[in-house]
Amino acid sequence: MSLGLQDRRDVEFLVNEVLHVERLFDTERFGHHDWSSFELILDSATKFAHEEILPTNSLGDREGAKFINGEVHTPPVFKRLYKSWREGGFIAVSEDEQYGGIQLPKALTIHAVSVLIGANVAFFNMPGLCHGAGEMVEVAGTPAQKKLFVTKLFSGEWGGTMCITEPHAGSDVGAARTTATLQPDGTWHIKGQKIFITWGEHDLTENIVYPVLARVEGDPAGTGGLSLFLVSKHKLDASGKLGARNGVKCAGIEHKLGLHASPTCTMVFGEDEPAVGELLGEQRAGMKVMFKMMNTARIAVGLQALGLAEAAYRYAHQYAVDRLQGSAMDQFKNPDAPRVAIVKHPDVRRMLLDMRGTVEGLRALLGFCAFQFDLSKALTGSEAEAADELSQLLTPLCKGYASEVGFDAVSTSITVLGGHGFLRDHPLEQYLRDAVIARLYEGTTGIQSLDLIGRKLGRRGGLALMDLSGRIEATIVEARAAGLEALADRVAKMRDDLAEGAMHLAGKGLSGDLVGPLLQATPFMFLMGDTVLSWLHLWMATTATKVSEPTVFHRNKVATARHFIVQAEGRVRARTATLVNDDRAPMDAVFEGE
């Protein structure tokens, strides 16, 4: 029997026994929910993922998206699948009821999303972008815009995407050249080109909504001069009825390493005829609105890393149980000894526990961050503010750190299968190709690291980092009382190393040294990620230790925590030593042609 795509018991342990998400059910915002709401959604998502989505994964990868005579064609099987996805109401379960959602806490929703992603990440990007575009309109739109766009995007009736990147600019968003010109009727004409637009054109919906970053003539250079506009694939009347094709078209799709079934488009606005749009939010506030979507999108990318890592781990786990090769350790000199499952071999067990530690740690990280987001919406005053600050601090880890270690877990799963993992007979080579992009889009790992040290660590005098340190200390005290002194001591050292690294970078910045922090931003993010996941593993192990009648599951939680923390401590110690050593070799090196 297959292990499936997700460890349901671990999900329930995290939300019930560790985070105690049920506290949200006592708030006004989430008081109409209980555990049955969550179980119903997760049951439905799990069934849908295994029975309908998963069979399309390799098929979609091999067929791929196609660009023919100016039109994008997705794998035919996606049309039926998307119809079923919409009918299941999965796009907006965490949104307000007025827009077709059921306002389920994100701390619960993410687990349904994770299993859906693990089944087919290329397909998931499409409804995920519908939600993201709808969220931007919900946050910044006028009442008329909300009425016209939000429900259609959240329901998936219309597709959505976001148009940021330009050929000459890449991650330098402020260098955008796309322009917006005000018309006498109050609309705007958008002119320019955007690249790397995920699901920018397709055949799954009759209309697509494009939030486009553009600059009004006369507005300042840089990101502060950009505004956000809504451009519809088809012109719309006041009631939302579709009219003639707007002046936006797809000029081609990219040929990529992974996500073959997900069209990545070059979109051209206003080339042959005007691309008519309307301002979303205030003029010159485009990046503020876009960042609201991008923060959500970055969490979604972290969920992609988790979904693929868990799917790969569980496949490798099942393979290791089924695959007979080699003899038992005490019989390795006996050529006639019976063959045993490779899960019995120490190195395979080490790799499996490496992957399990990553998967369960990332689930806890994303779950905790989503829980803080829910608390920021459900509570008031200083409690809501503290929860928001903590979720802001952890968001770069949820995207940058998660995408890196998630990719490593998928890579390890291939090694478990050996040469067989390299073959298309198994899904792992596709998982690896599909996992690469999580490290790149919505801001590369380097950009997440710069966001962490440049914007998040020092917010409001570092209150969020102090809050995090206090929470880690509370867990350390609790773990020691539960008999986990050795693990608690290791996490305490990592917490101290994290503080040392943060203070060192802060000191460099205050002294006017920008190069040092920029060089060490990414190593620091890994240092912080390993420390935070070690804390979460210690928290879970402490919870499992307190159970009056522990099962194999609870004993496994402790073993997984022990393995992860021991490995992470060595990495944190090494990175801290390197960081404070102020190595400038990358700046001193000479690269040919520079």
Please state the domain extents for the chain.
8-155, 160-288, 302-580
For strands 208-216 and 179-182, give the pairing.
Answer: parallel
For residue 268, the 8-state DSSP code is: E
Inter-residue contact 512 to 552 (CB < 8 Å): no
Cβ neighbours of residue 586 under 8 Å, at least 6 residues apart? 519
Asked whether the beta carbons of 193 and 267 are under 8 A apart, the reply is yes
Kindly list the distances between the CA atom of residue 433 and the CA atoms of 305, 307, 436, in Å, as whole numbers in the listed order.
12, 14, 6
Q: What is the pLDDT of residue 501?
A: 96
Residue 442 falls in the annotated catalytic set = yes
Return the SS3 of 225. Answer: helix
Specify whether the CB–CB gap between 127 and 82 falls below 8 A.
yes
Average pLDDT over every residue of 354-369: 98
Would you say 22 and 16 are in contact if contact means Cβ atoms under 8 Å apart? yes
Q: How far apart are CA 237 and CA 232, in angstroms?
A: 11
- Give me the mean pLDDT over the 170-182 stretch: 89
The sign one gets for the Cα dihedral 409, 413, 418, 420 is negative
What is the per-residue pLDDT for 273?
95
Question: What pLDDT was estimated at residue 230?
Answer: 98
- pLDDT confidence of residue 166: 94
Please tell me which residue, 305 or 96, carries the higher pLDDT value: 305
Residue 324 corresponds to which tokens in the numbers above?
Answer: 């007979």
Percent of the chain with pLDDT over 90: 89
Tokens for 434, please give them: 């599909």
Residue 333: predicted pLDDT: 87
CATH topology for 160-288? Butyryl-CoA Dehydrogenase, subunit A; domain 2 (2.40.110)
Tell me the CATH class for 8-155.
Answer: mainly alpha
Residue 370's alpha-carbon distances to 33, 160, 298, 413, in angstroms, are 17, 23, 12, 27
Structure tokens at 376: 């920021």
Residue type, 114: S
Bridge-based pairing state of the strands 188-198 and 226-232: unpaired
pLDDT on residue 5: 96
Structure tokens at 583: 């190595």
CA nearest 226: which of 210, 243, 239, 212?
212
pLDDT at 506: 93
Neighbours of 169 (CB within 10 A): 16
Query: From start to end of 43-110, where are the E strands?
Result: 66-68, 71-73
Give kind and range of the element (H or E) at residue 277: strand 275-280
Tell whether the model's pLDDT for residue 292 goes beyond 80: no
Within 8 A by CB and 6+ apart from 241, the residues are none
Q: Which of 94-108, 406-420, 533-547, 556-570 has the lowest mean pLDDT?
A: 94-108
In the structure, what pLDDT confidence band is assigned to residue 100 with cuts at 50, 70 and 90? confident
- Say if CB 446 and CB 525 are below 8 A apart: no
Ramachandran category for residue 333: left, alpha or beta (phi over 0 → left; psi -120 to 50 → alpha): alpha
Residue 193 banded pLDDT, cuts 50, 70, 90: very high
Numbers of helices and strands, H then E, in the chain: 19, 12
Going by pLDDT thresholds of 50, 70 and 90, the confidence category of residue 411 is: very high
**Contact of 252 with 194, CB cutoff 8 Å:** no
| pLDDT (0 to 100) of residue 238 | 82
> In which band, very low, low, confident or very high, does the pLDDT at 175 lie, cut at 50, 70 and 90?
confident
Q: Which of 2-11, 15-24, 94-103, 531-540 has the lowest mean pLDDT?
A: 94-103
- The residue from 360, 442, 473, 549 that is catalytic is 442
For residue 1, pLDDT over 60 is answered with no
Query: What's residue 520's pLDDT?
Result: 96
CA 34, chain centre distance (Å): 26
| C-alpha span between 107 and 18 (Å, rounded) | 12
Q: Does residue 532 carry a pLDDT above 80?
A: yes
586 token code pair: 């990358």
Q: What is the mean pLDDT of the chain?
A: 95
Q: Residues 14-70: pLDDT tens digits?
A: 999 999 999 999 999 999 999 998 999 999 999 999 999 999 999 999 999 999 999
**What is the pLDDT, as a whole number, of residue 564?**
98
d(CA 575, CA 273): 55
What pLDDT, in 10s, does the model give residues 201-230?
A: 999 999 999 999 999 999 999 999 999 999
| CB contact at 8 A, 372 and 390 | yes
For residues 307 and 368, give the distance between their C-alpha atoms in angstroms, rounded to a whole number. 16
Contact 267, 315 (CB under 8 A): no
Average pLDDT over residues 397-413: 98
Extended beta strands in 199-245, E state: 208-216, 226-232, 234-236, 242-245
pLDDT band at 11 (very low <50, low <70, confident <90, very high): very high
> Rounded to whole angstroms, how far apart are CA atoms 189 and 180?
5
Residue 553 has pLDDT above 80, yes or no: yes
CA distance 369 to 373: 6
CA 501, CA 520: separation in Å to the nearest integer? 10
Residues 6+ positions from 27 with CB-CB distance below 8 Å: 378, 379
Query: Is the CB of residue 396 less than 8 Å from the CB of residue 452?
Result: yes
Mean pLDDT of 520-524: 96
- Among the ranges given (284-298, 547-561, 562-576), the one the predictor scored with the smallest mean pLDDT: 284-298
Whole-number Å distance between alpha carbons of 165 and 555: 48
295 pLDDT tier (thresholds 50, 70, 90): confident
Say yes or no to pLDDT of 330 above 90.
Answer: no
8 Å CB contact between 299 and 284: no
User: What crossing angle do the helices spanning 402-417 and 286-322 adopt, rounded to 10°?
Assistant: 20
pLDDT, tens only, 425-449: 999 999 999 999 999 998 999 999 9
Q: What is the 8-class DSSP label of residue 15? A: I
Given a cut of 90, whether residue 101 has pLDDT beyond it is: no
- Say whether 160-288 and 8-155 share the same fold: no
Q: Would you state the pLDDT for residue 252?
A: 98
pLDDT at res. 461: 86
382/310 Cα distance (integer angstroms): 36
In CATH, 302-580 is 1.20.140.10: yes
Q: Can you give 179-206 as a three-state secondary structure string?
A: EEEECCCCCEEEEEEEEEEECCCCCCCC
503 CB-near residues (< 8 Å, 6+ apart): none
In the chain, the percentage of residues whose pLDDT exceeds 70 is 100
